[in-house]
Amino acid sequence: MILLDQEFAHPTQASSVRLTVYEEPGTGWLVTETHGGSHPVVKTLGLYASRDEALGRARTRGQSLEVQRYQPVAGAN
């Protein structure tokens, strides 16, 4: 089950990043970062025991992206 799926885009570069939090039944919550393009690259940001820890990690990474001038895409989940 996908808990969070948030996309960020850079205003001056053809670059986007999607943060996703998945529930891995029996394991925990997986946080990934996908860099868009013709060959998407998926990075694992961590596997967390609790939903709150996973959302916190995604939130922290989102803030880091905003410092790099990425902006949340309107209408993205």
pLDDT along the chain (77 residues), means of 10: 95 93 95 90 97 98 97 78
Both tokens assigned to 60: 């922290």
pTM: 0.90
Both tokens assigned to 42: 């998926």
Please choose, from the candidates 27, 31, 28, 23, the residue with its C-alpha nearest in 3D space to the C-alpha of residue 55. Answer: 31
Q: How many helices (H) and strands (E) does the chain have?
A: 1, 5
* Domain locations along the chain: 2-72
pLDDT value at residue 73: 94
Both tokens assigned to 64: 């880091």
Please choose, from the candidates 66, 64, 18, the residue with its C-alpha nearest in 3D space to the C-alpha of residue 43. Answer: 18
pLDDT value at residue 57: 98
Both tokens assigned to 16: 């986007």
